[in-house]
Chain A
Amino acid sequence: MTTVTAVRARPAAPVEPLYITGAGVITAAGDGLAALAEHLGGGGASPSAPVGDDAADYPGRPVRAVRDFDVKARLGRKGTKYLDRLTSFGLVACKELLEADPGDAAPDRTGVVLATNTGSVSTHSTLLYDTLTMEKPYLVNPGRFPNTVMNSTSGQIAIRNGLRGLNATVAGGQSASLLAFRHARLALTLGRADRLLVGGVEELSAPAAWAWHRTGVLREGAALGEGAAVFTVQRERPTGPVLAELLACEVRFTPDPRSYADGLADAVTRALGRSGVTAADIAAVSLGAGHHRGLGRVEERGLRRALGGALPAEVIRVADTLGETYSASGALQLAALLARRPAGGDLGLVTSVGRDGNAAAMVVRRPS
């Protein structure tokens, strides 16, 4: 407990709210927050089979694939030849987002902060397979090679939308999306950009599914998922409608697995404190770790510790609907919280705890 105490002793200045003005959401439930709300209310998406060329190669595990997704139909044929599924989700989510919420920030003051832990596993693994099996491995497809870097999706989003501001990609395991919000919060607060597209994207593929399956970290029967949730976030209060205020987003690392619940409790306590709210104000929490063996209990224990014993009135488990979405999970948890519109109050909490030691908590307030 000494490390927790030491970190808590650090000053935690109150934060100014930032404004979330729009959401671009692509999931197995369909496009947008409304489709997600419908499925969250209806007890979850029905199990679905894998899609794509490698659908037959998946392990025997449920998946929640995004179905009938045609990137050429969504973006036009130009420039889509080499796009992988990951970047396609990101581009379409941002297209929907910016069409509905174009904003008025200058292009060189508008940027992207996107979560990922591996980039496109399908692209990466396919090209690696090629380099290991081709007689001339140096003839790997040069058109697809740039897609192997992990900032490929954020770079493509910038190119397609002319966004010349800071362009960051953030990895943080299960907490990657909340780390992206944290990163964006600091950048906006310090004036490094006026407006940022912030969120997370994941794609399904047979290699990724086997990696999940073989690590054994997910509960038996837990579905794998994919999709994107990207939000426009800005520092200035907009003249138009606000989807939510983004209050504090706090993260921390815990080296000792026995203290993971304490780590999350510390992040939650700091997030509440810096947001100027109390545990009793929180109407809902959107949880992230429920599909991971053991971690779901750690998350609830840490949360109870920070909130004084009880969970908030409403508990949302979006992975039950969309499957495990890893680096995108925090963004999809936020999408679920905003889609669900909890009845008990305006304040909601998004939490994340990973097997790697990262924990994060974010407070949001819906307009009354």
Chain B
Amino acid sequence: MPEGRRVVITGLGAVSPVGIGADVFADAVRAGTGGTGPIESFDASAFPRANAGEVLDFDPADHLKRLDPARWGRSGLLAAAAARLAVADAGIDEEQLTAAGAGAVLGTTSGESAVVQALAEQWVADGLSAVDGELAGQTPASRIANAVSAELRLTGETQTIPTACSASNYALGYAYDLVRSGEADVMLAGGADAVNRLTHAGFYALGAMAEDVPRPFAADRSGIVTGEGGAVLVLETYEGATARGARIYAEVLGYAANCDAAHMVHPDATSIAACITAAHRAAGVDPEQIDYICAHGTGTPTNDTTEVAAARAVFGDRIPPISSIKSMLGHTMGAASGFGAIACCKALEQDFLPPTAHVEVPDPALGDGVDCVPGTGRPARLDIVQNHGFAFGGNNVITILGRVS
């Protein structure tokens, strides 16, 4: 891979089920605070399981200066609000963003799912001919990245990457490539999704939904709880960040993406291991340099077993601490690995290992040497961390972040 410019992360924006703002988010994650509870965004009374990780205190008007919330879907609004927070955290103004050719790359699983759900409700009530045209115009997933660029008046590349649950990592990787190669000097990257009826029903139908709370890596884990949120990070050149005296959370050392090409929903340990190794090679690091793995960690029996097997194939018996913040947020789908990246940045900044909440007895079947940081966060000095994102369709994307000293 050709050498390029160094790329660093200088701003974090989190609109999450455990709080709004990167510091609030980090404090909650470190404390192992759960953010899931009874669903409020749709009538879930007909479902045997009715919990989700919703952003209950999200009012778009608190954060947005330009977008009219009535004209945008929830996913786009979550993304735009997270972008506002990330830009403020980075201390970069709109003129600087314009001059840098900044754009937005946002991942998602279900796009504007709350909008599509509202349209389906109109269809059921009054027939297809009664669907609202203004609402229909809000359905494209592309409007998630558009919301960010419209809110911040960006003129750079504006791309939504709907590669399901690894989408934020994909967006981070692509944005990193844009900055590294000189196509842009600053990019906003992350992801967004909204809790919705179809995703809830689908994961239940697949037998993948937890009875109460998600317990990744626990012996008694029973699946996921769906979640939502917007996660955005500011990426820029190391040179640019140091020139403007910016705080640097982490350097993006590299990433890798591959595809299982085997099954739509079952992960593949061999393929994930290949992705981890490719990510290490791209970042120029050896396995023993990795201090922490922010796991995909959905909490389904299959995912966690497969993920640990893949890690074991690469790391042998010295698997780094590996934890899942989905234990607290729920599975925020296309935003998940964006929140993972934010957790990694805060862990590097504040010297702690993010925990896997709700775990009392780690699953012995995962084998020896698996430290899922059960319960609450632990102090630890981290230098290089890796962030996992896997998805339906067999899409694996792994990003490697490192401390800049």
* A and B part of one assembly: yes
Q: Which A residues have a C-beta under 8 Å from some C-beta of B?
A: 3-4, 6-7, 10-11, 13, 57, 59, 107-108, 111-112, 116-119, 124-125, 127-129, 131-133, 135-142, 145-146, 148-152, 154-156, 158-159, 161-173, 176, 179, 182-183, 186-187, 189-192, 206-207, 210-212, 214-217, 251-255, 263, 356-358
Say yes or no: is B318 at the interface (Cβ < 8 Å to chain A).
no
- What residues on A are CB-neighbors of B197 within 8 Å? 128, 131-132, 137
Shortest beta-carbon distance, A353 to chain B, in Å? 13
A-B contact pairs, 25 of them (CB 8 A): A125-B120, A137-B47, A148-B198, A148-B202, A149-B393, A151-B391, A151-B395, A155-B392, A155-B394, A158-B261, A158-B394, A167-B395, A168-B161, A171-B159, A173-B143, A186-B181, A186-B183, A190-B1, A192-B177, A207-B128, A210-B131, A217-B137, A252-B157, A255-B153, A358-B158
Q: Is the CB of A111 within 8 A of B259?
A: yes
> Which of A136, A141, A150, A163 is within 8 Å of B164, CB to CB?
A150
Is the beta-carbon distance between A255 and B142 smaller than 8 angstroms?
A: no
Report yes or no: A129 in contact with B124, Cβ–Cβ below 8 A: yes
Q: Which residues of A contact B121 (CB under 8 A)?
A: 132
CA distance A166 to B271 in the complex (A): 12
| Residue interface mask B350-387, A partner, CB < 8 A = 1 | 00000000000000000000000000000000000000
Tell me how far the C-beta of B245 lies from the nearest C-beta in chain A, rounded to whole angstroms.
22
The 0/1 profile, CB within 8 Å of A marked 1, for residues 77-110 of chain B is 0000000000000000000001101011000111
Contact across chains for A173 and B392 when beta carbons are under 8 A apart? no
CB–CB A171/B142 < 8 A: yes
Question: How near does chain B come to A91, taking the closest CB pair, in angstroms?
Answer: 13
CB distance from B47 to the nearest CB of A (A): 5
CB neighbours of B132 from chain A (8 A)? 214
Q: How far is the CA of A252 from the CA of B168 in the complex (A)?
A: 21
From 126 to 183 in chain B, residues with beta carbon under 8 angstroms from any chain A beta carbon are: 128-129, 131-134, 136-137, 139-146, 149-150, 153-164, 170, 174, 177-178, 180-183
A173 CA / B201 CA spacing, docked (Å): 28
Q: A136 to B155, Cβ gap below 8 A?
A: no
Q: Which listed residue, A171, A182, A253, touches B149 by the CB 8 Å rule?
A: A253
Q: Is the CB of B164 within 8 A of A357?
A: no
A192 to B173, CA, bound (A): 11
- In whole Å, how far is A161's beta carbon from the nearest beta carbon of chain B? 8
Query: B305 an interface residue at 8 Å Cβ cutoff?
Result: no
- Report how far A172 CA is from B143 CA in the complex, Å: 8
User: For the complex, is B310 an interface residue (Cβ under 8 Å from A)?
Assistant: no
Check if B56 is an interface residue, CB within 8 A of chain A: no
Query: Contact: A159 with B263, CB < 8 Å?
Result: yes
Q: Are A357 and B150 in contact (CB under 8 A)?
A: yes
Structural contact, B98 and A138, CB atoms closer than 8 A: no
Which residues of A sit under 8 angstroms from B185, Cβ to Cβ? Answer: 10
Q: Across the interface, which residues of B come within 8 angstroms of A155, CB to CB?
A: 259, 264, 392-395
Residue of B98, B142, B153, B156 ringed by the most chain A CB atoms within 10 A:
B142
The answer to whether residues A131 and B198 also contact, given A176-B142, A190-B177 and a CB cut-off of 8 A, is yes
Q: Chain B residues near A263: list those with CB within 8 A.
A: 155
Q: How large is the interface on B (under 10, 10 to 19, 20 to 34, 35 or more residues)?
A: 35 or more
Judge if B116 is at the interface, Cβ distance under 8 Å: yes
B24: Cβ under 8 A from any A Cβ? no
Q: Chain B, 44-56, contact with A by CB distance < 8 Å: what is the 0/1 string?
A: 0011100000000
CB-CB under 8 A from A156, the residues of chain B are 264, 393
What's the minimum C-beta distance from A56 to chain B, rounded to whole angstroms? 11
Asked if A142 and B124 make an inter-chain contact with CB atoms under 8 angstroms apart, the answer reads no
Instruction: Please indicate the chain B residues that have their CB under 8 angstroms from the CB of A207 in the complex.
Output: 123, 128, 131
Cβ–Cβ contact A133 & B124, under 8 A: yes
A7 and B100 alpha carbons, distance in the complex (Å): 8
Q: Which residues of A are found within 8 Å of B149, using beta-carbon distances?
A: 253, 255, 357
- Of the candidates B119, B131, B153, B202, the one having the most CB atoms from chain A within 10 angstroms of its own CB is B202
Within 8 Å CB of A189, what residues of B? 181
B139 and A116 contact, CB distance less than 8 A: no
Given A138-B47, A253-B146, A357-B146, residue A154 in contact with residue B257 (CB < 8 A):
no
**CB–CB B260/A186 < 8 A:** no
Across-interface contacts of A251 in B (CB, < 8 A): 157-159
Q: Across the two chains, which residue of chain B brings its CB closest to A153? A: B393
Of the candidates B156, B262, B392, the one whose C-beta lies within 8 Å of that of A152 is B392
Q: For B116, what are the chain A residues with a Cβ–Cβ distance below 8 Å? A: 124-125, 128
Question: Contacts A151-B392, A192-B257; is A169 near B161 (CB within 8 Å)?
Answer: yes
Q: Known interface pairs A150-B164, A165-B259, A357-B150. Does A252 touch B124 (Cβ–Cβ under 8 Å)?
A: no
Partner of A162, one of B120, B201, B261: B261
Tell me the complex Cα distance, A210–B170, Å.
33
Q: For B110, what are the chain A residues with a Cβ–Cβ distance below 8 Å?
A: 148-150
In the bound complex, do residue A187 and residue B101 qualify as a contact, i.e. CB atoms below 8 Å apart?
A: no
Contact B98 A3 (CB under 8 A): yes
Cβ-neighbour of B393 out of A6, A133, A154, A358 (below 8 A):
A154
